[in-house]
Structure 1
Amino acid sequence: MAGAIDSFLAMLAAERGAAANTLAAYRRDLEGAEEVIGDLETAARDDLARLTGAWADFAPSTVARKVSALRQFYGFCVDEGLRKDDPSAALPRPQARRPLPKILSHQEVERLFAKAENVAASERPAAVRMLALLELLYGSGLRATELVALPVRAVPRDAPLLTITGKGGQQRMVPVSRRAQVAIARWMAVRPDTDSPWLFPSRTGHISRIRLFQLVKELAARADCDPAKVSPHVLRHAFATHLLEGGADLRVLQTLLGHADIATTQIYTHVDSARLVALVNERHPLAAKDAGR
């Protein structure tokens, strides 16, 4: 069975460019199902039906993810001739809705920056680094993984753009604001490890996603923001939401965020319905004709 799972994951990596974290999640889901029903490659529909009870305590979103992994696995098995039938129709069908991301107000973001700038005035390396990290999270909408793994060579010199390698190895260009350029320049002036290839080095390589998460939580607490509401991903969401509120085009936002499917951007960047109605009334071609009556 391990051979079939390994072959499936190799296909995901080669044909779809799946990232290491994605492959690890698929492996956990497939091997977890195998612990319940036995060999997945020879499992019958009745065996898969037992997963409904085994997953009863999981959130609908978790069940949906596990079901997706199994459906794709069995589709691969049929395509590769490992089995003649696809038993995945017996899997549970959770009715899951993707939850809207947590929201940060403009005022909360301002408090975070005010505290980060105040502390960075000391020019202590750790404080200056925190300001640079914050500017890139909120100012460029980077994922945590993308941010911590930025190489020094990615620092813009002439053009105010960063070349980011995102999910699946896909590259995109993201803008760097003047504020962020200043913050990065300040960081480069006090950055301790000049031999490291990483923009934000640590003793063993670059700072980890976990450490970035901790730093953002600590800053939130010091800025009188609820740490439960603040994370690197929430700051990325704030970047998207506030740009959309300012009139950014959804397709442009999709490119900036590195989303393969615009449906992801539509869920990730929500705006209130009143603003959408106002946008249609003000910008739609028929609105001008109606106003001229």
Structure 2
Amino acid sequence: MMAAEAGAAANTLAAYRRDLEGASGHLAGRLGEADAAALRDLGKSWLSLARSSVARKASALRRFFGFLAEEGLRRDDPSDALPRPGTARTLPKVLGHGDVDRLFVEVARRLDEARSPAHLRLSALIELLYGSGLRATELVSLPRHLIRAEQPYAILRGKGGRERLVPVSDRARAAVAAYAATLPKDAAWLFPSGKKHLSRVRLFQIVRELAMAAGIDPERISPHVLRHAFATHLLEGGADLRALQTMLGHADIATTQIYTHVDSRRLVELVNQRHPLVDAPPAKS
């Protein structure tokens, strides 16, 4: 159901599987028959976990019991007995413009040193992460010919199987073209590695290695932090929140609204500069 009807991504399916298998192990394999008392006991075993972990596990189980009830496999749904800790939506880590500049200076330094396939690949990866706001999984699994030199956008199938239009800057297209010229013509992936494509773990390592070389604390950066930087810097520049939602591929605009943490002074400036009544004469009293 999660794969066919909800269109859940592979990582989401894997997380659900882990949570359901863990709960089933705690209940000696009798998860499907668990009553409210058993679920309260299960919830107590999560006391040492972070609120976000408890919320995720409880959500997976509620979905599971809801499915059983809808399919007629159970007459009741005991999932109300599960804890509801809620989640505190934390602000994303953000890189300043200066930090991003240092990353690109280091990329340029390496290209000046040698336009090797490894350096060209690094340039393409960083340009797409910061310039298009791609998720790590989306980036490493890009098909070889999806990004074209003459096309300033790409149609991408992202999280949950949803398609979206992703902007691709002139810089990113140039970086991809230079790197793609080093690939075999029959390559299936833009970033191949072995028999498949570059892994998310290796991408994470590449980004942190670059940060260290650029004089940035590697603990402050990851592929997802560069996606955050893409969103935050666009919003600071006056991007529309709905447009940003589309570019990021968020199903719910509430997820996109986390980026409105930009400082209040900047928001006031945007209103004063961009509101349609800025140049209108004041109303007479």
Give the TM-score of the pair, scaled to structure 2. 0.93
The answer to whether 1:184 aligns with 2:176 is yes
Q: Shift in Å at residue 37 of structure 1?
A: 2.6
Q: By how many angstroms is 1:168 displaced? A: 1.9
Q: How far does residue 47 in structure 1 lie from its aligned partner after superposition?
A: 0.6
**Matches of 2:86 and 2:140, distance apart in 1:** 35
Which residue does the alignment assign to 1:30? 20
Query: Aligned partners of 1:284 and 1:171: how far apart in 2?
Result: 32
Alpha-carbon distance in structure 2 between the residues aligned to 1:290 and 1:272: 28
- Whether 1:101 aligns to 2:92 is yes
> Per-residue displacement from partner, 1:32-86 (whole Å, max 9, x unpaired)?
1122234121111111111232001110001000111111111111111111111
Partner in structure 2 of residue 53 of structure 1:
44
In 1, are the aligned partners of 2:149 and 2:174 still within 8 Å (CA)? no
Root-mean-square deviation (CA), in Å? 1.8
Q: CA deviation at 1:288?
A: 5.6
Instruction: Tell whether 2:107 aligns with 1:142.
Output: no
Query: Which one of the candidate residues 159, 168, 191 is aligned to 2:160?
Result: 168
The residue aligned with 2:231 is 240
Query: Tell me, which stretches of 5 or more residues in structure 2 are unaligned?
Result: none
Q: TM-score, normalised by structure 1?
A: 0.91
1:265 aligned to 245, 251, 256, which one? 256
Please, which of 122, 128, 146 is the counterpart of residue 130 of structure 1? 122
**Once the 2 structures are TM-superposed, how far is the Cα of residue 187 of structure 1 from its aligned partner?**
0.7
1:267 CA displacement: 1.7
Q: Distance in 2 between matches of 1:100 and 1:277?
A: 20
Q: How many residues align?
A: 282
Q: Is 2:10 the counterpart of 1:17? A: no
Structure 1 equivalent of residue 57 of structure 2: 66
Structure 2 counterpart of 1:3? none
Q: Deviations over 1:182-208 (max 9, x none)?
A: 1112112333x3331111111222111
Cα distance 1:269–1:186, how it changes in 2: closer, same or farther (>3 A)? Answer: farther
Tell whether the 8 Å contact from 2:149 to 2:173 is kept in structure 1 after alignment: no
> Bigger CA drift: 91-100 or 68-77?
91-100
CA contact (8 A) 1:51 1:92 kept: no
Percentage of identical aligned residues: 60
Letter in 1 for 2:194: R
Question: 1:152 aligns to what SS in structure 2?
Answer: coil
Q: 1:237–1:269: 8 Å Cα contact kept in structure 2?
A: no
Q: Which runs of 5+ in 1 are unaligned?
A: 1-10
**Structure 1 residues 114-125: aligned runs within 5 Å:** 114-121=105-112, 122-125=114-117
Aligned residue identity for 2:137? T
